[in-house]
């Protein structure tokens, strides 16, 4: 069996990476938090019709809502699923309230405790104690969390179980072909997802040389030994923003969610933007490079990278 | 000293923003969700609390944006930030006690300031509720660990309940010392800010009482929208209205009325890009 993490050139395509590292029944996590979300990756998983997946995540929007709507998920362990300012997670709601298109086993956490789950997985311990969740109803319904007395001081703490997903799907600002990933701006749970998972697919806005990585080692959040595959994937987060790369396309999101309000129109959307587009490149052509370029140009006015 | 100029024309949302800002004191580190709370935090920073710091959930601390923040992970949250880090690091700083004030909300609140943003059960249950809401996000963590929290939500009888269906974000639980007994050694809500009034919490019973009513609102107006027998002290005051200067700042922060109006509904790609270009030119 190939030890992908030892390869010196991990470059591949999105469809090959998903095909190799995501199977029916896989447990998955996606990087990003509001901005920087893995939208292209989600569409590719739906295109490949992966099913019975387990999603572990802080506040996954597309990954949570689209996969729920596509019927790809068996279980979600999350803190939040909604598009926030742009609108509600209609597919998520239909799945939980009415089992449409299928029932999903839902386990509630908070953003911090999901972060701690990836941290525990990343540092190789079974759980991490926290003050979060105490007194709330989250541990009443989520039986994977335990409230115990600290053996040293006797205080009540919540014990948050480690997450060890089969595959982490992580999108960063830039990376080299060996899998060293650098991030400009916030990184949410990316660094720990990459370490907690059995396999990590690293995608980047821009592929750079290892020499360029070495020039600013402080920016590296994921070293090559965590990574199994590298894909250059510009505009992977559209319509979401990517720090220092492109602004949030909130008008696009508004139109998208207006369509997601009914099941029938959601399926039309999937047909048009996922299946008929055929690939991420097809999706981008459909959005229009002029529009994407405008999002990049406006972003560079506000946030100029000085690396 | 110049006399304060109160605004003559303002919306309910704008009033909420100024009231939220009023809870922030200079030097606070503010953990605020997007929308009214972020606008409140930025308004405070641009007026009476210039040394306050905003933290957003995705991992940015102390941004100084030149445009509207459109989400907890928007690029505007990264703009001119003091620090860009990871989610667990930022939330750990909160658990450690560095975040002095957190802004939270929910679909339901009870008299002890417990919040529900998980599910409205209706005649069903948690597994298949009548309405599934987004979930905690970071709200449970803020309610557990910020040194104090401020709740902002519209005053409606169906939202202000004797008991919430699901306690997502702990307030004072069952009142008195129950929060502490559950292991939450500090924090808890200091105010509920609504479109009609402000509630604060009794220092012993931890029950919410009516603190002030907004101009034009009566005590009965408030009681009609609360499901429990509300404590109304003798000295209920009138909330100070927004000042003209505050309203001017708010409208500059949200020029298309995305949070303070229905700007999102009327927006298209061209007007959106034009709004951002205008914000940039005004920097």
Looking at the predicted structure, is the pLDDT value of residue B3 above 80? no
Tell me the mean pLDDT in the region A215-223. 97
| ipTM summary value | 0.97
Say what the pLDDT of residue A1 is: 77
Say what the pLDDT of residue B269 is: 98
pLDDT, one tens digit per residue, over A117-161 is 999 999 999 999 999 999 999 999 999 999 999 999 999 999 999
Quote the minimal CA–CA distance from B67 to chain A in Å. 8
Chain B residues with CB under 8 Å of A248 CB are: 70-71, 74-75
B21 half-sphere exposure, CB direction, 13 A CA radius: 29
Say what the pLDDT of residue B2 is: 63
Q: Are A44 and A176 contained in the same domain?
A: yes
Please measure the distance between the N-terminal and C-terminal CA atoms of chain A and give it in whole angstroms.
Answer: 39
Query: Following CA atoms B11, B189, B208, B177 in sequence, which dihedral angle do they give, to the nearest 10 degrees?
Result: 180
Looking at the predicted structure, is the pLDDT value of residue B34 above 90? no
Looking at the predicted structure, is the pLDDT value of residue B176 above 70? yes
**Contact pairs from chain A to chain B, CB under 8 Å:** 239
Q: Which residue of A lies nearest to B95 if distances are taken between CA atoms?
A: A131
With 0-12 / 13-18 / 19 or more C-beta atoms within 10 angstroms meaning exposed / middle / buried, residue B7 is middle
Buried-state track B169-199, b at ≥16 Cβ within 10 A, e below 16 = bbbbbebeeebeebbbeebbbbbbbbbbbbb
What span, in angstroms and rounded, lies between the C-alpha atoms of B99 and B39?
A: 18
For residue A172, give the nearest of A124, A223, A121, A248 by alpha carbon.
A223
Q: Is B44 helix (H, G, I), strand (E, B) or coil?
A: helix
Residue A291: band (very low, low, confident or very high) from pLDDT cuts 50, 70, 90: very high
Structure tokens at A153: 């001081």
Looking at the predicted structure, is the pLDDT value of residue A51 above 90? yes
Contact: B183, A99; criterion CB under 8 Å: no
Tell me the mean pLDDT in the region B9-28. 95
Say what the pLDDT of residue A306 is: 77
Quote the minimal CA–CA distance from B9 to chain A in Å. 26
List CB contacts of B278: < 8 A, sequence separation 6 or more. Answer: B255
**Domain end position, chosen among A136, A161, A186:** A161
Tell me the mean pLDDT in the region B274-282. 95
Q: Are A179 and A55 contained in the same domain?
A: yes
Q: Are A19 and A97 contained in the same domain?
A: yes
Q: Are A187 and A97 contained in the same domain?
A: yes
Contact: A109, B71; criterion CB under 8 Å: no
Q: Are A87 and A156 contained in the same domain?
A: no
Tell me the mean pLDDT in the region B128-157. 97
Within-domain flag for A204: yes
> Based on the structure, what is the number of domains in chain B?
1
pLDDT, one tens digit per residue, over A53-86 is 999 999 999 999 999 999 999 999 999 999 999 9
Q: Is A190 helix (H, G, I), strand (E, B) or coil?
A: helix
Say what the pLDDT of residue A40 is: 98
Looking at the predicted structure, is the pLDDT value of residue B1 above 70? no
Contact: B136, A111; criterion CB under 8 Å: yes
Within-domain flag for A133: yes
For residue B168, give the nearest of B190, B189, B139, B209 by alpha carbon.
B139
A125 near A79, Cβ under 8 Å? Answer: no
Within-domain flag for B227: yes
Residue A103: band (very low, low, confident or very high) from pLDDT cuts 50, 70, 90: very high
Q: Are A88 and A196 contained in the same domain?
A: yes
Q: Are A65 and A131 contained in the same domain?
A: no
- Catalytic pick among B3, B14, B23, B57: B57
Within-domain flag for B4: no
Say what the pLDDT of residue A173 is: 98
The helix or strand, by DSSP H or E, that contains position A200, with its residue range, turns out to be strand A199-207
pLDDT, one tens digit per residue, over B63-111 is 999 999 999 999 999 999 999 999 999 999 999 999 999 999 999 999 9
Within-domain flag for A37: yes
Q: Are A102 and A135 contained in the same domain?
A: no
Q: Is A307 helix (H, G, I), strand (E, B) or coil?
A: coil
Looking at the predicted structure, is the pLDDT value of residue B257 above 80? yes
> What share of chain B has pLDDT > 90, as a percent?
93
What span, in angstroms and rounded, lies between the C-alpha atoms of A188 and B74?
A: 12
What span, in angstroms and rounded, lies between the C-alpha atoms of A27 and A78?
A: 13
Say what the pLDDT of residue A56 is: 98
A110 near A138, Cβ under 8 Å? Answer: yes
Tell me the mean pLDDT in the region A31-39. 95
**What range does the domain containing A152 cover?**
111-161
Q: Are A171 and A293 contained in the same domain?
A: yes
Within-domain flag for B72: yes
**Chain A interface includes B82 (CB < 8 A):** no
Residue B167: band (very low, low, confident or very high) from pLDDT cuts 50, 70, 90: very high
Here the CATH number for the domain that contains residue A270 is 3.40.1080.10
Within-domain flag for B117: yes
Best of A36, A83, A103, A132 to disrupt the B interface (most B CBs within 10 Å) is A132
pLDDT, one tens digit per residue, over A274-285 is 999 999 999 999
Within-domain flag for B33: yes
Within-domain flag for A105: yes
Chain B residues with CB under 8 Å of A33 CB are: 57-59, 72-73, 87
pLDDT, one tens digit per residue, over A150-159 is 999 999 999 9
Which of residues A181 and B283 earns the better pLDDT score? A181
Structure tokens at A91: 């597919």
**What range does the domain containing B98 cover?**
12-281
B132 near A97, Cβ under 8 Å? Answer: yes
> What share of chain B has pLDDT > 70, as a percent?
99
Say what the pLDDT of residue A258 is: 96
Here the CATH number for the domain that contains residue B68 is 3.40.1080.10
Buried-state track A111-147, b at ≥16 Cβ within 10 A, e below 16 = bbbbbbbbbbbbeeeebbebbbbbbbbbbebbeebee
Within-domain flag for A307: no
What mean pLDDT value characterizes chain B? 95
What span, in angstroms and rounded, lies between the C-alpha atoms of B127 and B121?
A: 9
What span, in angstroms and rounded, lies between the C-alpha atoms of B148 and B282?
A: 35
The stretches of B101-146 forming alpha helices (DSSP H) are 139-145
What span, in angstroms and rounded, lies between the C-alpha atoms of B185 and B145?
A: 9
> What share of chain A has pLDDT > 70, as a percent?
100
Q: Measured between alpha carbons, how far is residue A62 from residues A39, A83, A124, B39, B77 in Å? A: 6, 8, 29, 26, 20
Q: Are A208 and A255 contained in the same domain?
A: yes
Q: Are A98 and A171 contained in the same domain?
A: yes
B248: annotated active-site residue: no
Residue B112: band (very low, low, confident or very high) from pLDDT cuts 50, 70, 90: very high
pLDDT, one tens digit per residue, over A181-213 is 999 999 999 999 999 999 999 999 999 999 999
> Based on the structure, what is the number of domains in chain A?
2
Which residue from A32, A78, A89 is facing B73, i.e. has the nearest CB? Answer: A32
Q: Are A123 and A271 contained in the same domain?
A: no
What span, in angstroms and rounded, lies between the C-alpha atoms of A173 and B180?
A: 43
What span, in angstroms and rounded, lies between the C-alpha atoms of B27 and B48?
A: 10
Contact: B87, A189; criterion CB under 8 Å: yes
Contact: B134, A303; criterion CB under 8 Å: no
């Amino acid at each position: 069996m190939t030890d992908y993490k030892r390869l010196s050139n991990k470059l591949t395509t999105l469809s090959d990476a998903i095909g190799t590292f995501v199977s029916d029944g896989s447990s998955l996590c996606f990087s990003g938090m509001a901005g920087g979300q893995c939208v292209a990756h989600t569409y590719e998983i739906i295109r490949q019709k992966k099913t019975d997946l387990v999603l572990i995540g802080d506040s996954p929007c597309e990954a949570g809502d689209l996969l729920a709507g596509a019927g790809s998920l068996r279980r979600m362990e999350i803190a939040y699923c909604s598009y926030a300012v742009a609108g509600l997670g209609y597919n998520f709601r239909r799945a939980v309230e009415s089992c449409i298109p299928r029932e999903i086993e839902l386990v509630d956490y908070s953003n911090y405790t999901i972060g701690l789950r990836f941290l525990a997985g990343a540092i190789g311990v079974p759980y991490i104690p926290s003050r979060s969740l105490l007194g709330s109803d989250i541990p009443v319904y989520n039986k994977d969390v335990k409230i115990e007395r600290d053996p040293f001081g006797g205080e009540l703490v919540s014990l948050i179980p480690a997450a060890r997903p089969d595959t982490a799907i992580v999108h960063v600002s830039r990376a080299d072909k060996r899998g060293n990933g650098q991030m400009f701006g916030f990184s949410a749970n990316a660094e720990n997802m990459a370490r907690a998972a059995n396999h990590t697919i690293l995608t980047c806005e821009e592929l750079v040389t290892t020499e360029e990585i070495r020039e600013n080692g402080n920016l590296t959040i994921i070293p090559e030994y965590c990574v199994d595959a590298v894909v250059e994937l510009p505009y992977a987060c559209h319509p979401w923003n990517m720090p220092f790369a492109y602004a949030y396309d909130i008008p696009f999101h508004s139109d998208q969610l207006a369509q997601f309000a009914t099941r029938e129109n959601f399926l039309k959307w999937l047909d048009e933007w996922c299946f008929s587009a055929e690939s991420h490149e097809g999706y981008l052509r459909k959005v229009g490079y002029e529009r994407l370029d405008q999002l990049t140009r406006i972003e560079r006015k506000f946030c100029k990278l000085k690396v | 000293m110049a006399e304060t100029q109160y605004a003559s024309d303002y919306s309910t949302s704008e009033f909420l923003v100024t009231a939220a800002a009023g809870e922030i004191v200079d030097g606070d580190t503010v953990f605020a969700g997007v929308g009214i709370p972020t606008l409140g935090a930025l308004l405070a920073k641009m007026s009476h609390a210039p040394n306050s710091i905003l933290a957003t959930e995705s991992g940015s601390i102390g941004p100084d944006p030149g445009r509207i923040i459109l989400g907890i992970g928007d690029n505007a949250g990264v703009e001119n930030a003091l620090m860009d880090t990871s989610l667990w690091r930022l939330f750990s700083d909160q658990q450690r006690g560095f975040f002095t004030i957190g802004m939270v909300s929910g679909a339901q609140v009870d008299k002890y300031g417990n919040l529900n943003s998980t599910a409205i059960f209706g005649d069903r249950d948690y597994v298949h509720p009548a309405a599934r809401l987004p979930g905690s996000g970071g709200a449970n963590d803020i309610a557990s660990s910020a040194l104090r929290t401020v709740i902002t939500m519209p005053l409606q009888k169906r939202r202000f309940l004797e008991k919430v269906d699901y306690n997502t974000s702990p307030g004072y639980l069952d009142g008195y010392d129950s929060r502490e007994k559950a292991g939450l050694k500090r924090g808890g809500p200091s105010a509920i800010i609504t479109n009609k009034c402000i509630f604060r919490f009794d220092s012993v019973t931890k029950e919410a009482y009516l603190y002030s009513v907004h101009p034009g609102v009566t005590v009965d107006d408030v009681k009609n929208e609360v499901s429990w027998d509300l404590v109304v002290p003798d000295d209920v005051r009138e909330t100070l209205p927004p000042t003209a200067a505050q309203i001017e700042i708010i409208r500059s922060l949200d020029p298309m009325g995305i949070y303070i109006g229905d700007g999102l509904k009327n927006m298209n790609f061209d007007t959106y890009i034009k709004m951002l270009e205008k914000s940039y030119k005004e920097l």
